[in-house]
Structures are given as C-alpha cells and as structure tokens.
C-alpha cells in the first residue's frame, strides 16, 4: 500500500463526511441562519449600547416585545397557511382604541375592554378571512384594503375621541397591573406572548388543524385533493391573526393608557420583516412559531438599538428594507437549492481494500467457476411478476414471491401458470419465511417486518429498534429490512441492510460502501426488537444453520458469509465463514443435503474493486456524473452457489449469457427443484437439481410434518 493510499484510507474512513449530509437533512438547519443573525444582533447592540441589558431597559423592551411577538405570531400563522396579512397594524390600532374607549369613555370593567379589543381584532380578521378564504380574493390586495380602511376609521375616531378618553377619571388597579407590573419578574405581555406561542406551536406541530394549515400553505391543490377544507383553514388563519393583533392592541392600551395617530403605524412591515427574517417562507408551508419569535427579537432589537444609537427613522426603515430583501433572497435560493446541495453532499464514500478472490470466469478452473446451467431453467410468470427478490413454497407446493409493486403474489401448484395477488403489503416485499403457524413473515423494504396470516391478514410486527447513541438521522427506523429466518423458539432473526439509504437506493449504498448494516432479532413473545450486530457492509441473506446452534448471514458489499452463534461458548459472537467470494452474496437458504445455497446478486469487477480503494474518485464520480453513468459492480451476471457448514464450495450454477437470470437474489429448494428469484428480473426460474432429495421441503425441515 502506498503512502498516498494509506493517507486516503485514513482521510475517508476517519473523517465522518457523511454527517454533513445527515445534518443537512434535518429540518432545523432551516433555522440556523436566523439563529446566527439573532445572536449577532443581540450581542452587537448589547455591546454597542451601554445599559442595553439593564433591568429597566430590558423590562420596557420586553413589554414591547411581548406585544410585537403576538402580532408576529399571527402573521406567522397566516404565512404558514400561504397568505399574508398587511392589516395587522390597523387591527392593532383599532383594538387599542376599542379597549381605551370601552374602559375610559364607557367606564366598563377591564375584562369587557379586553373583550372589546379582541372582538374588534377577530371581527376584522374574520372579514379578511372571509374575503380571502371564501370569496378567494388576493390576500395582498385584500389586506392592503383593510389596512387602509381600518387606519382611516382609526384616525377619524382618534381625532374625535382621544381628548374624551384622556379626560376620563376612570381608574382600575387591574388595568395598571396589566400595564405596569410583573409576575415572577416578567411582564404580562411577555407571559401572554409566551402562552400564545406555546399554544400555537403545539397546535401547529401536533394537532390536526395545525397540520391542515401547513398542508394548505405547502400546496393548496394537494391539500384540497387530500380532502382538507382549504377555504376554512385560510379563513381561520386570518381570524387567528386578528385575535393576536387584537390582544396586542389591548396590552398596548393598558401600557400607555392612550392611543395616538401613530399607534400601530408601520407595524405590518415590522411584523412581516420579523416573520421572514426568522426564516418563515413567503411561499407558505415552511416555518414555525419559534422562527417568528426569533425574527421578532431580531427586528425589535435592531430598530430600538438603532434609535438609541441616534439614527433616524429613515435609516431605520432602510435597514429593515435591506434585512427583508436579504431574508427573502436567502429563503428563495435555499428553498430552490437545498435538495441539490443535499444530493451532492449526501454520498460520502469510504475506503475499502477487498480480499482478492479466485476468478469465477468460465475456464478458470477455480472452485467458483461459473457455467451456464441456469439458462436451462424454466420460467414461471415471465413478464407477469416484476422483481421477485425472494421466493418461497408452502406445504401445498404453492409458490410465493414479493413484487416491486408491494404485493405478495401466489402461484398455484402444480404447474404455476395461474397466480393471484395473495396480499398487498406496500413497500417492496423482500425476504420471506413461514413460521410454525404458517404465517408468511416478510421483510418489507422501506417499511419493516410484516406478517401475513394464511387468511391474508397483514400485520406489522416491527419497524424500529433502539436508537444508537451517536446517530444523527434517527436510526431506530428500519430503512432496508432485507431477509429473515425463524429460529425453533419462534424468534425472528432479520437484517436491515443500511441506515444511510432507503431500500430502492441500494446501489448508492454500494458506491458509498459505509458499513451500517445490522442483524436484528424480533421476539414475538413480547414484541421487542433488539439489534444484535451493527456496522456491516450491507447485511443481507439470513438462514438458521441445520443444527440450529448458529445462523449464517452474508455481508454483500464485502462478499463475505458470517456465522452468528445462537448458543454454545461463542454465543452472541460473529465469525467469518467465507471471505473470498468473487460474487456479491444475497439470500442464503438451506439445501436438502444438509448444506446451503447462496445467491449471487452480481459479480465483482476489477475496476469496481479498485474504485473502492479510491474513495476520492468515487466521491468525484457522484458529484460530476449523473447516477446512470456511475461505475457499479456487474449485476448483469450472477449465480447460485452451494456450500457446506465449513464454508467449502460444492457447486456453482450461472447464466453467463445473462438472458434469463442475469442477477440472482434468491433460491429455494423444494422437492428436488430449485426456484430462482431476482430483484431485477421479470420471472421466477425452476431448475431441476441433479440427485437432490425429491421429498425434501423447507416447511417440513423447519417445523416438522403436520
């Protein structure tokens, strides 16, 4: 090994490049930029302005922040629903006036004033919602109109009644308490905003109505097609926005005990900027309350800070405008390019030096030498089944297989020309096994471990295991359950091939070659799932050994067969049984004579083996070429190999022309015949095995006569 190769091995196996892709997959990365801006703003102004963090200054600021946050929460919800609410400033002002008029002029109790303010907000919100949701007017223009009309009404009222309110002698402790005092160190507006924020957050992320709003914002058409009441949801977002703005108006009224021409002026721009700067998408559907709050803090700290640094209104507006423009640009560019960045970053190849294998080429004279015997196999279901990864036969000789359409298909004995859909599971049913009670257990790619009863009832057994401590992407989920076998005590041993890719992206996992495959066990008695082994390069076929003391499983990308001990002194340990295969092993199953069959999914090629020692080459390949052009192992040829308990190779069967069985992923021996499946094939093959026991069947071998 050259120094360069050794350095590359270290570089690519020790530096966890894959983490970048996994972090980028996280939704919270959307909040990263606003969070950085938030910290920068607070720290920046905090150090530039002496006394910025003094208790009094903070108290006043947070009071204002509470009110403003309420408005922003409303705006955020409207934006998440795919709309925009420019009327918040007008609502805020009118509600403040309503509270003041009710309390000072009509001398009503405080709670009535509060009700009046909130009622005003809800009413205007409902008008907006009705026009936009039900009449389906444009949100921008409609709320602009309500803004103008609302402000006009407010200005008429304030000119006529401001003096009257000011001369009022009405006094209330409660009113002053709300306006001036604190509870547990925080003012009433802060508490109100916090409570509303928590409620709104929970509603958006955990309730039906919140999900519906997000769905409408994400895609109106899809939401409608999914049966969501789009108009009602849009209506409700504006009502909510009116409600929070009304509440904010009431709090404002208690704080200042008055209102003037300038009340709520330009608030809509501030709120909009806050919501967008926080990272809420203008397009709707993407964002959160927390982002809105972050934006509120950024905007408020910035505007107040600029004023205290002595800058005028013009500068202030300018900064806000630039901030908004920057946020909108980042929002759009990020939305558009995030998946591209992710695609380019995700595949992170590692270094692997494969063990040299004897050639399997015809005429090579090795134990693995392939022939063309499989080309003589008769076809079942030619052109009717697609992707029978695994095949299995029951006690009545009927033949079952999964298909890429998510179905388990049954071919009827004895001639296997008639077939039916036995059960629809979804996903991609891969490995199959019958348990003691003749339930068909299947590893379903991208879904989990499923059981199908003889009367076709489909139940999920498990879809998760314990999450590992260092995982970034939740690896409790089974992304690629592949094959299984059942021990005499009923425990189901199965493999989950990779944590990095979903079942249909198995080719990508091979390019990356990171060992993340697992061996797991499901215990039907208590329904628990346990991870037994982790870190293998694509765990695949599993079979319980004939003596039932161990199981055999294969590691596809490293072309190895392992033995895992179920009992005895090495219980719980795995050891390598065969490690020089020239083909990629897939499923393993028992043979009638006390030995085993393994399927070869494809063949190793010198060019691909070499590329495994050049992770940098593979990395550039994934970035510079489209997926169809990537180098891959040769899966246009495969085969079936028989081996015994000591790992000795006894027989090989191949289809060198690759006409009928190019890639083989499974085989089952049944009454002297071998049934052959292939995940990429459009048929099942039947092959007569010379000299095989014509009475042997797997169900009897596993569970005895019935």
Residues interacting with other proteins, by CB under 8 A?
4, 344, 359-361, 370, 383, 386-387, 507, 602-603, 605-608, 610-611, 613-614, 617, 620-621, 623-637, 656, 658, 660, 662-663, 680-683
Nearest CA to 683 out of 391, 379, 400, 421 is that of 379
Question: Which CB atom, from 155 or from 657, has the smaller least distance to other proteins?
Answer: 657
Beta carbon of residue 632, minimum distance to other proteins (angstroms, whole number): 5
Question: Which CB atom, from 20 or from 126, has the smaller least distance to other proteins?
Answer: 20
Question: Which CB atom, from 157 or from 330, has the smaller least distance to other proteins?
Answer: 330
Residue 533, SS3? strand
Question: Which CB atom, from 514 or from 618, has the smaller least distance to other proteins?
Answer: 618
| Residue 194: DSSP 8-state | H
Nearest CA to 23 out of 336, 505, 345 is that of 345
Beta carbon of residue 613, minimum distance to other proteins (angstroms, whole number): 8
Beta carbon of residue 8, minimum distance to other proteins (angstroms, whole number): 9
Question: Which CB atom, from 120 or from 622, has the smaller least distance to other proteins?
Answer: 622
Residue length of the chain: 706
Token digits of residue 404: 């890429």
Beta carbon of residue 628, minimum distance to other proteins (angstroms, whole number): 3
Token digits of residue 430: 């891969």
Beta carbon of residue 56, minimum distance to other proteins (angstroms, whole number): 47
Question: Which CB atom, from 361 or from 701, has the smaller least distance to other proteins?
Answer: 361
Beta carbon of residue 634, minimum distance to other proteins (angstroms, whole number): 4
Chain-centroid distance, C-alpha 2: 41
Instruction: Decide if 165 contacts 157 (C-beta within 8 A).
Output: no
Q: Tokens 């801006």 appear where? A: 37
Question: Which CB atom, from 89 or from 387, has the smaller least distance to other proteins?
Answer: 387
Beta carbon of residue 631, minimum distance to other proteins (angstroms, whole number): 6
Token digits of residue 434: 């019958």
Question: Which CB atom, from 363 or from 569, has the smaller least distance to other proteins?
Answer: 363
Question: Which CB atom, from 337 or from 471, has the smaller least distance to other proteins?
Answer: 337
CA separation for the pair 687, 670 (Å, rounded): 10
Question: Which CB atom, from 10 or from 140, has the smaller least distance to other proteins?
Answer: 10
Instruction: Decide if 12 contacts 615 (C-beta within 8 A).
Output: yes
Residues paired with 443 in a beta bridge: 449
Beta carbon of residue 390, minimum distance to other proteins (angstroms, whole number): 17
Strands 428-434, 440-445: parallel, antiparallel or unpaired by DSSP?
A: antiparallel
Question: Which CB atom, from 103 or from 419, has the smaller least distance to other proteins?
Answer: 419
CA separation for the pair 178, 15 (Å, rounded): 56
Beta carbon of residue 94, minimum distance to other proteins (angstroms, whole number): 46
Residues paired with 484 in a beta bridge: 494
Beta carbon of residue 636, minimum distance to other proteins (angstroms, whole number): 5
Beta carbon of residue 688, minimum distance to other proteins (angstroms, whole number): 22
CA separation for the pair 70, 545 (Å, rounded): 66
Token digits of residue 304: 């107040």
Handedness of CA 48, 51, 57, 62 (dihedral sign): positive
Beta carbon of residue 6, minimum distance to other proteins (angstroms, whole number): 13
Beta carbon of residue 105, minimum distance to other proteins (angstroms, whole number): 60
Axis crossing angle, helix 188-206 with helix 289-308, rounded to the nearest 10 = 150
Question: Which CB atom, from 157 or from 631, has the smaller least distance to other proteins?
Answer: 631
Residue 672, SS3? coil
Separation in Å, CA 102 to CA 97, 158, 188: 8, 13, 20
Chain-centroid distance, C-alpha 122: 37
- Cis ω before 414 (30° cut-off from 0): yes
Question: Which CB atom, from 304 or from 660, has the smaller least distance to other proteins?
Answer: 660
Nearest CA to 233 out of 129, 135, 144 is that of 129
End-to-end CA distance of the chain: 59
Token digits of residue 658: 């690759």
Question: Which CB atom, from 360 or from 552, has the smaller least distance to other proteins?
Answer: 360
Token digits of residue 443: 């590893």
Question: Which CB atom, from 176 or from 384, has the smaller least distance to other proteins?
Answer: 384
Beta carbon of residue 466, minimum distance to other proteins (angstroms, whole number): 34
Which residues, 6 or more positions from 675, have their beta carbon under 8 angstroms from its beta carbon?
Answer: 380, 391, 393, 399, 667, 668, 669, 684, 685, 686, 687
Question: Which CB atom, from 203 or from 680, has the smaller least distance to other proteins?
Answer: 680
CA separation for the pair 102, 117 (Å, rounded): 9
Beta carbon of residue 583, minimum distance to other proteins (angstroms, whole number): 9
Rg, Å, the chain Cα set: 34
Nearest CA to 150 out of 69, 99, 88 is that of 88
Strands 574-578, 583-590: parallel, antiparallel or unpaired by DSSP?
A: unpaired
CA separation for the pair 669, 666 (Å, rounded): 10
Question: Which CB atom, from 281 or from 681, has the smaller least distance to other proteins?
Answer: 681
CA separation for the pair 499, 475 (Å, rounded): 6
CB count within 10 Å of CB 58 equals 13
Beta carbon of residue 658, minimum distance to other proteins (angstroms, whole number): 6
CA separation for the pair 582, 562 (Å, rounded): 16
CA separation for the pair 552, 539 (Å, rounded): 11
Q: Give CA torsion, residues 634, 639, 645, 650, to 10 deg.
A: -120
Chain-centroid distance, C-alpha 584: 30
Beta carbon of residue 680, minimum distance to other proteins (angstroms, whole number): 5
């Amino acid at each position: 090994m050259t120094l360069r190769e050794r350095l590359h091995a270290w570089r690519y196996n020790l530096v966890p490049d894959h983490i970048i892709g996994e972090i980028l997959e996280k939704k919270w990365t959307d909040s990263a930029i606003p969070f950085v801006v938030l910290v920068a703003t607070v720290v920046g102004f905090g150090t530039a302005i002496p006394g910025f963090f003094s208790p009094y200054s903070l108290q006043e600021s947070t009071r204002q922040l509470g009110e403003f946050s309420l408005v922003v929460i409303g705006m955020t919800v409207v934006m998440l629903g795919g709309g925009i609410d420019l009327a918040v400033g007008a609502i805020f002002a009118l509600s403040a006036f309503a509270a003041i008029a009710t309390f000072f002029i009509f001398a009503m109790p405080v709670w009535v004033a509060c009700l009046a303010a909130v009622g005003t907000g809800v009413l205007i919100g409902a008008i907006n919602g009705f026009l936009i949701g039900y009449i389906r007017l444009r949100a921008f223009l409609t709320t602009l109109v309500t803004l103008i009309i609302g402000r006009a009404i407010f200005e008429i009222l304030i000119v006529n009644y401001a003096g009257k309110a000011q001369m009022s002698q009405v006094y209330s402790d409660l009113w002053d308490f709300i306006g001036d005092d604190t509870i547990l160190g925080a003012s009433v507006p802060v508490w109100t905003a916090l409570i509303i924020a928590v409620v709104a957050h929970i509603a958006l992320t955990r309730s039906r109505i919140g999900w519906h709003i997000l769905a409408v914002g994400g895609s109106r058409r899809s939401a409608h097609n999914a049966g969501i009441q789009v108009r009602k949801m849009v209506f409700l977002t504006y009502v909510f926005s009116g409600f929070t703005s009304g509440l904010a108006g009431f709090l404002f009224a208690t704080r200042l005990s008055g209102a003037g021409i300038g009340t709520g002026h330009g608030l809509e721009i501030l709120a909009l900027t806050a919501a967008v700067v926080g990272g809420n998408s203008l397009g709707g559907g993407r964002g959160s309350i927390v982002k809105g709050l972050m934006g509120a803090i950024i905007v408020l700290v910035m505007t107040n800070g600029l004023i205290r640094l002595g800058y005028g209104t013009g500068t202030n507006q300018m900064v806000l405008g630039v901030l908004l423009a920057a946020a909108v640009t980042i929002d759009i560019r990020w939305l558009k390019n995030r998946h591209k960045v992710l695609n380019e970053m995700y595949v992170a190849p590692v270094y692997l030096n494969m063990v040299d294998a004897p050639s399997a080429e015809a005429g090579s004279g090795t134990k693995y030498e392939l022939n063309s015997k499989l080309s003589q196999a008769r076809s079942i279901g030619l052109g009717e089944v697609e992707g029978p990864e695994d095949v299995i036969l029951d006690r009545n000789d009927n033949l079952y297989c999964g298909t890429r359409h998510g179905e388990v298909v049954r071919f009827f004995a004895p001639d296997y020309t008639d077939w039916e859909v036995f059960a629809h599971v979804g996903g991609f049913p891969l490995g199959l096994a019958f348990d003691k009670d003749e339930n068909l257990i299947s590893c379903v790619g991208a879904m989990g471990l499923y059981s199908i009863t003889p009367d076709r009832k489909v139940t999920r057994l498990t879809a998760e295991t314990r999450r590992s401590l260092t995982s970034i992407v939740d690896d409790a989920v089974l992304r690629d359950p592949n094959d299984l076998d059942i021990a005499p005590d009923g425990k189901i041993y199965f493999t989950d091939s990779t944590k990095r890719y979903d079942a249909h992206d198995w080719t990508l996992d091979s390019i990356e070659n990171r060992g993340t495959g697992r061996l797991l066990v499901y215990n039907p008695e208590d329904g628990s799932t346990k991870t037994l082994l982790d870190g293998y390069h694509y765990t695949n076929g599993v079979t319980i050994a004939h003596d039932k003391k161990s199981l055999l499983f294969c590691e596809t990308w490293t072309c190895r067969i392992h033995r895992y001990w179920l009992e005895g002194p090495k219980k719980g340990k795995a050891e390598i049984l065969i490690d020089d295969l020239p083909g990629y092993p897939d499923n393993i199953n028992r043979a009638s004579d006390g030995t085993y069959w393994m399927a070869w999914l494809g063949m190793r090629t010198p060019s691909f083996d070499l590329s495994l020692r050049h992770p940098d080459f593979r990395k550039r390949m994934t970035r510079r070429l489209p997926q169809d052009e990537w180098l891959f192992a040769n899966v246009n040829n495969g085969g079936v190999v028989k081996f015994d308990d000591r790992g000795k190779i006894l027989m090989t069967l191949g289809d060198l022309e690759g006409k009928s069985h190019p890639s083989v992923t499974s085989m089952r021996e049944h009454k002297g015949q071998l049934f052959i499946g292939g995940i990429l094939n459009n048929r099942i093959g039947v092959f007569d095995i010379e000299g095989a026991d014509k009475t042997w069947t797997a169900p009897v071998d596993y569970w005895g006569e019935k």
